[in-house]
Amino acid sequence: MNKFALGCGVVLAILLFILVVAALAIGGSYNRLVRLQQAVDQSWAQVQNVYQRRADLIPNLVNTVSGAANFEKSTLTEVTNARASVGRVQLDPNKAPTDAAQLEQFQAAQGQLSNALSRLLVVVERYPELKANQSFLSLQAQLEGTENRISVERGNFNSAVQNYNVAVRSFPTNLIAGMLGFAPRPFFTAREGAERPPPVQFNFGTPAPAPAATAAP
């Protein structure tokens, strides 16, 4: 009887040990997933901040540029409409989207605005009087810095999402993630020309480079 009781005690001790180890493993994995998820949300908040910063610059940019004589109104309208389209895409600024379609819609709207701004800045080069406008020069510098920050923060967000998704899909964390509702998150996808921010340089008065000489036939 004593041997039987001793054997039962050993089995119970082993089971208890296994349960404790499993609980610690689950708790550790859960805490890691929470930290990675928070990193994704924090990176998303930074992305939203820099995009909002760009949106806030646009009204002053449009007002300043529209003061130039005979400036193309259609170009200004395109920028204004693109900014309005961005405002219609409503996403939580403090929580990264879990729906890939929502993020794609957000990215498409922001891309449309980037393209409209690029066209505006190309047209601006035909109005050298803006070179002497200090308000415009200040907005130019701010926009250039903001575009660079957008590129950086998008990269940081994608890195945070990648770290989170790897953890969610890796064994054995994926078992815990599935039980506790941690799902992979979508990230920004690269578009043609997305490896660099839209150009915001204005080389007023700088002559175009001479074409390369061609050899005589």
Rounded Cα gap, residues 130 and 136, in angstroms:
7
In a domain, 204, yes or no: no
Domain count, the chain: 1
Task: Give the domain extent around 36.
Answer: 7-180
pLDDT tens-digit readout, 79-138: 999 999 999 998 999 999 999 999 999 999 999 999 999 998 888 888 888 777 888 889
In a domain, 113, yes or no: yes
CATH of residue 153's domain is 1.20.1440.20
- HSE-up of residue 124 (Cα within 13 Å, Cβ side): 28
In a domain, 67, yes or no: yes
Secondary structure in 3-state letters for the chain: CHHHHHHHHHHHHHHHHHHHHHHHHHHHHHHHHHHHHHHHHHHHHHHHHHHHHHHHHHHHHHHHHHCCCCCCHHHHHHHHHHHHHHHHCCCCCCCCCCCHHHHHHHHHHHHHHHHHHHHHHHHHCCCHHHHHCHHHHHHHHHHHHHHHHHHHHHHHHHHHHHHHHHHHHCCCHHHHHHHHCCCCCCCCCCCCCCCCCCCCCCCCCCCCCCCCCCCCC
In a domain, 201, yes or no: no
In a domain, 198, yes or no: no
In a domain, 194, yes or no: no
In a domain, 215, yes or no: no
Rounded Cα gap, residues 45 and 115, in angstroms:
23
Rounded Cα gap, residues 146 and 21, in angstroms:
49
pLDDT of the chain along its 217 residues, tens only? 566 666 676 667 677 767 666 665 676 788 999 999 999 999 999 999 999 999 999 999 999 888 876 788 888 899 999 999 999 998 999 999 999 999 999 999 999 999 999 998 888 888 888 777 888 889 988 999 999 999 999 999 999 999 999 999 998 889 889 888 899 999 998 764 444 444 444 343 444 344 444 444 3
Rounded Cα gap, residues 107 and 104, in angstroms:
5
Contact 177, 147 (CB under 8 A): no
In a domain, 18, yes or no: yes
